[in-house]
Structure 1
């Protein structure tokens, strides 16, 4: 048992590095694009600041459409697009393309819901003091929702850690690819067991760190 783990350890470390590489690319881009996208969804929804019902219906439909795709099917469906963007449909970098496409609307929906939960009285107070829409969004909504945004980033990170393992099914590398090669093809359950433990530890670390940041940002606590 120990011999198998020692033999596979270098490849396991490489797989962990590939998984983190996917997350480091996916999560920041998802936050950078998903935050303004979710904000636009919030601002244009019926009864909000901007009156653009048709635009909201179209944008809301696009977000729902992308989110409705199972991740594995999405990876396969956009292979031509992935090849166009990164030059190949295989490898760790290629796997980040469908991950980003899936993560952006996922995070945008989180942002929309978080902004909806902001106390309307705080927004009205800012309006009464002459704040424009940009100031309300940047200095009021985002400030009030910062703990919720941090919590959403944590949830998305944990979720896409598991999504990254699916990338191994189509040659995306990472822990998923490692698990398939050693746990499925070679039936080395001991190596698989160690892999599962490592994944659980990573989830716990991400969640603990996220909860700690949320507690520091949440002024109610």
Structure 2
């Protein structure tokens, strides 16, 4: 039983579970969209690069430049610029549902760049062997490049997921819901340090769970691990 001198903020018991579920929802939905967009874009970037199977210099330079711009754009500025689109697609610029769009736009170019680097790490000799065996470009991409880099791709997705958790906390500043909104509205604005500390600890624990799970999954996909090497 808490001592008479300690007052537990109701936000911790009433709002924290809801805020956690909102954060999980926005990370899950934006994470799925990020993977669906980021991995194909990353593969396309490498495929059309000078070292790829289908070099297309003009497309590669344009796409690569857009990816660089998206990665370098501050997230808060991105959210501000995306507000009209969010209102048009979701009907409101507040709530966790509205955050899925800016979270996805901010993260999938980053994942695409990571995927491009991972696919590039596949030895050229392996790709050449597939070509000599008569494999089509599509078979090379799926059966060799993605398969051989699957462990690194899992690590890339993990890094992107951690970035999404961080970004999901930032959208609380603009009323995006989740743990970030709880920390700002019920902690910072009300001068409740306990709410801010507990919320921060929950976010840190969330990141640790994602990191551990992602690392273990990546290790299981590592060819050296699966073959006992």
* Length-normalised TM-score, structure 1: 0.96
- Is 2:26–2:99's contact at 8 Å kept on the other side of the alignment? yes
Indicate the residue corresponding to 2:137 in structure 1.
Answer: 133
Instruction: Return the alpha-carbon distance in structure 1 between the equivalents of residues 19 and 87 of structure 2.
Output: 22
Choose the corresponding residue for 2:112, options 84, 91, 108: 108
Choose the corresponding residue for 2:92, options 88, 95, 110: 88
Equivalent position SS for 2:37: helix
Shift of 1:96: 1.1
Post-superposition Cα deviations, 1:135-174, rounded to whole Å, max 9, x if no partner, equal 0001111110110110011111111101001111111011
Alignment of 1:17-166 (within 5 A): 17-166=21-170
Gaps of 5+ in 2: none
Shift of 1:110: 0.8
- Is 1:158–1:206's contact at 8 Å kept on the other side of the alignment? yes
Post-superposition Cα deviations, 1:36-88, rounded to whole Å, max 9, x if no partner, equal 11111000011321121011111111111111210011000111111111112
- Is 2:107–2:163's contact at 8 Å kept on the other side of the alignment? no
Indicate the residue corresponding to 1:180 in structure 2.
Answer: 184
Shift of 1:191: 2.1
Alignment of 1:208-219 (within 5 A): 208-219=212-223
Shift of 1:182: 2.3
Gaps of 5+ in 1: none
Distance 1:106 1:37, change over 3 A: same
How many aligned residue pairs are there?
A: 221
Shift of 1:7: 5.0
Equivalent position SS for 2:223: coil
Instruction: Return the alpha-carbon distance in structure 2 between the equivalents of residues 47 and 149 of structure 1.
Output: 19
Shift of 1:10: 1.9
Equivalent position SS for 2:117: helix
- Is 1:4–1:191's contact at 8 Å kept on the other side of the alignment? no
Shift of 1:103: 1.3
Instruction: Return the alpha-carbon distance in structure 2 between the equivalents of residues 77 and 19 of structure 1.
Output: 22
Instruction: Return the alpha-carbon distance in structure 1 between the equivalents of residues 7 and 137 of structure 2.
Output: 62
Equivalent position SS for 1:131: coil
